[in-house]
Amino acid sequence: MVVFKEASILTEDFKNLNRKESVLSAPVVQSLNGCKIWKPLDVGFLKVNWDASVNVNVGVIGLGCVIRNDEGIIMGAKCCVYKVNADPLLAEVMAALFALEFCLEMGLAKIISEGDSLQIIKGLCAQDNQLDRIRHFLLAISQKAYSFSV
């Protein structure tokens, strides 16, 4: 029942976001505090953002991703909950794989994948022996990446 309620809320949020003019549809031209500024994607590219949540007390993780086009409009979103005891790093790598699998299901070819786990990004870019416990997930992500044209 809780999952259904959460899915209903997410669906309603999705509908509301697509009704309003996206704040991402106009690029930010200036940064007031020196931070990186958002700029639109190249035409034809889609950006998939992924993230994970861990509830250690209940023993569940939540995975989610959102796909936006070059205008910032949401093209798809997906989430799921797994009853598994996992630490944040394992949950994040599962979310990255979950997002790529969703993009493949949608038949996307040109994507930019983004997540907030620096460890996962570094693990995908270089060999890091400290990430042995998630190595098989990193390999699966690398293999799936070859399915995209860009």
- Kindly state whether residue 133 falls inside one of the protein's structural domains: yes
Counted residue by residue, the chain has a size of: 150
Q: Is residue 59 part of a domain?
A: yes
Residue 2: predicted pLDDT:
54
Reported pTM: 0.74
pLDDT tens column, 26-70: 444 445 566 666 677 888 899 999 999 999 899 999 999 999 998
At CA 131, angle to CA 129 and CA 132, rounded to 5? 75
Domain assignment present for residue 81? The answer is yes
| Cβ contact 52:63 at 8 Å | yes
Residue 150 in domain? no
Question: How far is residue 122 from each of residues 18, 47, 63, 134, measured CA to CA in Å?
Answer: 33, 19, 20, 13
Residue 74 lies in a domain: yes
Q: Quote the domain boundaries for residue 115.
A: 2-145
pLDDT, one tens digit per residue, over 89-136 is 999 999 999 999 999 999 999 999 999 998 998 888 875 667 788 999
On whether residue 100 sits in a domain, the answer given is yes
CATH code for position 26: 3.30.420.10
Neighbour-count burial of 2, counting CB atoms closer than 10 A to its CB (0-12 exposed, 13-18 middle, 19+ buried): exposed
Q: Residue 24: which pLDDT band, with cuts at 50, 70 and 90?
A: very low
